[in-house]
Amino acid sequence: MGFVDDAYWVYQKMGKLPSLHACNALLDGFVKRGKFELMWGIYSNMLSFGLCPSVVTYGVLVDACCLKGEIFKAKMLYDEMVEKGIQPNVVIYTTLIRGFCDENKIQEAERIFKTMWEIGVMPNLYTYNTLMDGYSKMANVGRGFRLYQEMLNHGILPNVVTFGILIDMLCKVGEVIAARNLFACMVKFGVEMYSEMEKHGISPDVVTYGTLIKGHCNLGEVDEAERLLLKMDKTGVIVNSVVYNQLIDGYCKDRNMEKALALCSEMIEKGVQPDVVTFSILIDGFGKVGNVEAAMGVYTEMVIKGLKPDVVAYTALIDGQFKKGDTKAALRLHKEMMEVGVAPNALTFTCLVDGFLKNGMVSDAINFFLKISSSGSTGVNVDCSNGVLSFPNYVTYSALIHGLCKDGQYFKANKFFVDLRRNGLYPDLPTYAMMIQRHFEGRHITRVMMLKADMLKTGFMPNPCMYKVLLKGYQDMIDLSSTSKCYEELKDLGVVCSETSLMQKPPGSCK
């Protein structure tokens, strides 16, 4: 990225602005490096010198806003360009959809998607993949597969990324058999794609292998993923750090840290140096298995090698210290990351709130949450040009709501749930299930009905675990009509189960 610094040096020495094309390239370079303040400075100069932004300029600005989580600012830029008569292209629409999906605002993403069709901008494969990924994050299998079918109907063929999204979606709702069947199709598709590429004299790149490896890891088939890695080596496909990281992450999720470290050593032997992502994965992996000392050891090695720990590494370390019960160490790490200019993200906030709660510090959790909600920061000065300082998202709210419910503070939990919705955020299914369960226990049937209606309106479809909560609630209230209706809805979903089997899962497993 040295050329960006060189270009900026030339830009500063010039007595006048370069061409619009050169300015756009400079803006894009700074976005890719996370130098958002410099990007906005250049854009401001462009406007002051009377240089009119083009669709490319707006595309870069919208992308920057979405990367920082400033989706409404991105939408304002979109509205501005439409008012100026500049037609947004498919890239801008796709970026907006991604931004709304990242913020769990699926209805707004759907509205953007609908607008595309209305004004004659055809969605491409990346647009469909982006919206499908949004449905995957919400575990909305029905809408995800309907969109997939719509894509096929419009003559757009899937790629391995599409299959990866669909497989991930099925895994999230526990449909492992369906995921395996789809993965078989994905492998077949990948083989067929390879054949087509070879016919045209094109060497397959690393992307398809990487997606297949990630798919196997998502299904817990890490050994299969490693076999694919060996196949890459035999067929001469150069393995990069991204692929190694995917497999290392697979072993970490499988809690096999010995294999993860062995693969890291192999990676170095092959001349591929571990990067920040590699170290962050290992730190998170050791944290998940409760080996905080090893996680700190990896962190130390990372610093010795001259790599700056990122927000993922710091968040994993903070989470590990909280799980160990060492709240002072967790808070020291949080302070350190702020001092070195690593901006916390929503996951960091969630780990801190959750850590306070699990260590019995309920008041600290609430006070910290209120502080970051009102100011957008923890009160410490952070250079955000290299990072993204986020407000709490729905995951942070969910952690607080679950913690308060477990502590018996249902009134406060309900208050934060209402606040979450008022701020335009959407809870996940486990949070809906938790609140519905608590309202059943309080005999608040009207609130149960309102919550269920709200859940359906926001695009969530009840899964078997949610129906378990509903069935138990209706049965406890001796509401035979609603109980019968729930069983019928389950049959419509293709779920075949008895009352006994459905009641076996505990309430907290609705994920």
Q: What are the residue ranges of helices labelled H in 200-256? A: 206-218, 222-234, 241-253
367: confidence class by pLDDT, cuts 50, 70, 90: very high
More confident residue, 41 or 498: 41
pLDDT for the residue numbered 492 = 66
pLDDT for the residue numbered 501 = 46
192: confidence class by pLDDT, cuts 50, 70, 90: low
65-74, 245-254, 275-284: least confident range = 65-74
314: confidence class by pLDDT, cuts 50, 70, 90: very high
Q: Considering the domain boundaries, does residue 447 fall inside one?
A: yes
15-29, 69-83, 191-205: least confident range = 191-205
Q: Considering the domain boundaries, does residue 335 fall inside one?
A: no
Give, rounded to a whole angstrom, the gap between the first and last alpha carbons of the chain.
41
Q: Considering the domain boundaries, does residue 125 fall inside one?
A: no
pLDDT for the residue numbered 195 = 58
Q: Considering the domain boundaries, does residue 123 fall inside one?
A: no
Q: Give this prediction's pTM.
A: 0.63
198: confidence class by pLDDT, cuts 50, 70, 90: low
pLDDT for the residue numbered 17 = 60
Kindly state the average pLDDT of the residues 153-181: 80
Kindly state the average pLDDT of the residues 400-417: 92
CA 292, 295, 297, 299 dihedral sign is: negative
For residue 317, which of 303, 328, 302, 329 has the smallest C-alpha distance?
Answer: 329
Q: Answer for the pair 387, 421: CB distance below 8 angstroms, yes or no.
A: no
pLDDT for the residue numbered 205 = 58
256: confidence class by pLDDT, cuts 50, 70, 90: very high
Mapping DSSP onto H, E and C, the string for 163-210 reads HHHHHHHHHHCCCHHHHHHHHHHHHHHHHHHHHHHHHCCCCCCHHHHH
Is 15 a residue whose pLDDT tops 60? no
Tokens of 422: 């008022």
For residue 464, which of 434, 429, 439, 417 has the smallest C-alpha distance?
Answer: 429
pLDDT for the residue numbered 377 = 43
Tell me what percent of the residues of the chain surpass a pLDDT of 90.
Answer: 42
- In which residue are the tokens 């060996």 written? 230
Tell me what percent of the residues of the chain surpass a pLDDT of 70.
Answer: 84
Type of residue numbered 434: M
27: confidence class by pLDDT, cuts 50, 70, 90: confident
Is 189 a residue whose pLDDT tops 90? no
Q: Considering the domain boundaries, does residue 451 fall inside one?
A: yes
Q: Considering the domain boundaries, does residue 102 fall inside one?
A: no
Range of the domain at 469: 400-511
38-47, 281-290, 413-422: least confident range = 38-47
Kindly state the average pLDDT of the residues 309-334: 93
More confident residue, 365 or 193: 365
Note the pLDDT tens digit of each residue in 97-150.
999 998 888 889 999 999 999 999 999 999 999 999 999 888 788 889 999 999
DSSP-derived letter for residue 386 is: G
Q: Counting Cβ atoms within 10 Å, is residue 187 exposed (0-12), middle (13-18) or buried (19+)?
A: middle
Tokens of 353: 């709130």
Kindly state the average pLDDT of the residues 315-339: 93
Is 490 a residue whose pLDDT tops 80? no
CATH of the domain at 443: 1.25.40.10
| Cβ neighbours, 10 Å, residue 19 | 9
Q: Considering the domain boundaries, does residue 368 fall inside one?
A: no
Is 52 a residue whose pLDDT tops 80? yes
Q: Please give the tally of structural domains in the chain.
A: 1
194: confidence class by pLDDT, cuts 50, 70, 90: low
Note the pLDDT tens digit of each residue in 344-353.
888 899 999 9
Q: Considering the domain boundaries, does residue 428 fall inside one?
A: yes
- d(Cα 125, Cα 143) in Å, to the nearest integer? 17
More confident residue, 179 or 298: 298
- d(Cα 396, Cα 384) in Å, to the nearest integer? 21
188: confidence class by pLDDT, cuts 50, 70, 90: low
Kindly state the average pLDDT of the residues 214-236: 84
